[in-house]
Chains A and B, each alone.
Chain A
Amino acid sequence: MSSSTATSAAVPTGSTSLSLQRSRRTDWLVFLVVMATFALVPPLLGGFALYIATIVAIFAIAALGLQIMVGLAGQLSLGHAAFLGVGAYTSVLLQKLYGVPFLAAVAIATLASALVGLLMGQLVRLSGIYFKIATFGFGIIVYQLLSNWSSVTGGHTGLIGIPPIRILGTVFRDRLSMFIIAMIYLAVTYALLLRLTHGRAGRAFRALGQNEAAAQSIGIPAASYKMAVIAIGCGAAGLAGTLLPHVYNFLNPEEFTWLQSLVLLIIITVGGLGSLPGAIVGAVVLVVVPEYLRAFQEYKMLAYGVLLIVSMIFMPRGIAGIVQGLVTRIRGRHAPAETPS
């Protein structure tokens, strides 16, 4: 639990020391680099790259939320794909059945996912292991509801005829505009969450993740922060979910299985637990790389599992940790006086 965003946990509340300011500046610099790369590379490659980048962005948004929830606050969710499902179905059904405009539908769906997350949090006001297994069960229950509530969700058949994205009377349907919309989603989510982690809430989440009892004892209202972080994590997943049906042009419960929840967890682990840019890099790795290893699809899940074990054993701070290590080393050579926080 110690990467670029998490390191400032050690800094006492309220202090704005030099190193803290510097680490914040670094975080925003990384934000700019990641977003600029993201915004430039796919359009240059064009065609399929735009399409796959849109899907990466969707997974990245969900992973960012999960990162705050798991990597920072230590609330492990094993059924996170369910919340993508809640967001996707709520948004599409609102648009399809009630003609709610796209942006309003997205807002309501995001809120709905956060509320369902809160409901889960309240139902299972539990700590540690009980919470983990309850989230797993919750994921299964949501999946079965989506699959079997046929009159509303279309059941296992799913839904087709997804209305196109329409904002202020303009219809966006082609790959480039889908990509741009996804980029805006991602930039906004990333920026908001980054700000959040820099503030008091971020410090509280980190304290919660390190030791719940200790956090409580130094006066952090652990229960309310826990609920808040669950709502944020689930809301981000819901937001990501609202885009998915518009990219695929269909909606099917198979996109929200236990397997997808696992993939999301692997994304944040490989990217580096606790690191926001890590979540995005993880999404790139897990969505793009398999596309280019088409001949080895059969081994994909095996490779995912090995990747998870290897990152747990050999690089517990993920790709973000490795990059940070490299940067520190290079910097250390130029400015040996600087002490790492």
Chain B
Amino acid sequence: MNAVIQILSGLTIGCIYGLVALGFSMIFRAMGLVNFAQGDIMMLGGFLGYTALSIAPELPFVFILVIAMIATGLFGFVIERVAYRPALKRNADQIYLVLLTLGIGIVLANAARLFWGANPVVYKIPLTFDIVHVGGYPLPRVYFYIVGFMTLTIIALNLLFTKTWTGLALRAVSQDPTTSRLMGIDPGRSSSVAFVIASMLGAAAGVLYAPLFYVSFDMGAVGLKAFAAAIIGSLGSVFGAVVGGLIVGLAETIGGQIIGTEFQDSIAFAVMIAVLLLRPQGLFAQNRRVA
């Protein structure tokens, strides 16, 4: 009972990390930008879902998920246009860009605090407390939503990257921005697309996270651990982000039991540093430049 429950809860949290990590990876791939606001995008998604629920309490959870994703996606589109693209255009230094994303993260978190309050909010829907028994193990029903969504996301992203022109363009830009521009690919469009997808994935992570725990303005910190996940699995790799998320989730639950739960927050980064020592570009590095 003990071990199975621990592994399952670790893997579920790992899926959440994985979703946020995917967002980091998408943006890094398309723009070479490390977006420190991604965790706060997740928070925003969680709160927008909450607002959607308070307006329409009867709406099924899946609709809430979609609404929050669309709203946050739009928001991501605006941020990319207003804040990042101008900075990228004037070829700003990496440091400026990182600081800019940090600034946007602080503003998002604190604006959310003023708007939704400092106290955590809970989705008041049955799903928050629903339990399903599978093989004698009591599991929250939302686990299945999380795993299901993760699977769909992986399939959809694979299709996107292999079967659509947009996806091919995204890959081309990430591998060689100069040549792809010569080939007629608009890098601006690629970065918009990447940002919107990343924001939608972040929002999904926030909405799926809410029934497990709660939504609060300071939960961007969860997103920062997803950073470690993205790096463990090599930045830019879709598969790597997902596996990295699962590794961090498992390491936190199991490692917490071994070295003491009070060090849980350190584990993600300790694993990351250890992995980087062994493989300087993460577990699933392809041959590519690293900014």
Contacts and interface: CB of A to CB of B under 8 A. Distances in A.
Report A-B touching, CB under 8 Å.
yes
| Residue of A70, A133, A299, A304 with most chain B CB atoms under a 10 A cut-off | A133
A77 to B, nearest CB: 11
Contacts of A132: 34, 98
Contact of B106 (A123, A305, A313): A305
A308 B273 contact: no
Interface in B269-285: 269-270, 272-273, 276-277, 280-281
B276 A124 contact: yes
A306 B270 CA distance: 32
A92 interface: no
Contact of B262 (A148, A258, A273): A148
B155 interface: no
Interface in A237-277: 258, 262, 265, 269, 273
Given A144-B262, A313-B83, A126 B280 contact: yes
Interface in A272-323: 273, 298-299, 301-302, 304-309, 312-313, 316
A227 interface: no
B171 to A, nearest CB: 20
| Residue of B94, B95, B96, B224 with most chain A CB atoms under a 10 A cut-off | B95
Contacts of B92: 312, 316
Contact of B114 (A130, A133, A262, A298): A298
A169 interface: no
A124 to B, nearest CB: 6
A38 interface: no
B110 interface: yes
A31 interface: no
B234 to A, nearest CB: 11
B266 A140 contact: yes
B123 interface: no
| Residue of B34, B94, B102 with most chain A CB atoms under a 10 A cut-off | B102
A309 B273 CA distance: 30
Interface string B218-232: 000100100110010
Contact of A130 (B96, B104, B262, B280): B280
Contacts of A299: 110, 114
Contacts of B109: 301, 305
Contacts of A124: 273, 276
Contacts of B281: 130
Given A133-B228, A312-B103, A141 B266 contact: yes
B21 to A, nearest CB: 12
B212 interface: no
Given A70-B95, A132-B98, A269-B99, A137 B269 contact: yes
Interface string A137-166: 110110011011000000000000000000
Given A265-B99, A309-B83, A129 B266 contact: no
A305 B265 CA distance: 24
Nearest to B262: A148
Given A141-B269, A302-B106, A309-B83, A134 B95 contact: no
Nearest to B264: A144
A80 B5 CA distance: 38
B107 interface: yes
Given A1-B93, A127-B290, A309 B265 contact: no
A302 B269 contact: no
A298 B262 CA distance: 30
B276 A130 contact: yes
A110 to B, nearest CB: 25
B95 A74 contact: yes
B138 interface: no
A308 B265 contact: no
Interface of B: 28, 34, 83, 86-87, 92-96, 98-100, 102-107, 109-111, 114, 221, 224, 227-228, 231, 235, 260, 262-263, 265-266, 268-270, 272-273, 276-277, 280-281, 290-291
Given A123-B273, A141-B269, 14 more contacts: A125-B280, A128-B291, A129-B235, A130-B290, A134-B269, A137-B266, A137-B272, A148-B260, A299-B110, A302-B106, A308-B102, A309-B103, A312-B92, A313-B87
6 contacts: A129-B34, A132-B34, A140-B265, A302-B107, A305-B109, A309-B104
Interface of A: 1, 70, 74, 76, 123-130, 132-134, 136-138, 140-141, 144-145, 147-148, 258, 262, 265, 269, 273, 298-299, 301-302, 304-309, 312-313, 316
- Top-6 shortest CB links A-B: A137-B269, A305-B106, A308-B103, A305-B107, A302-B110, A309-B103
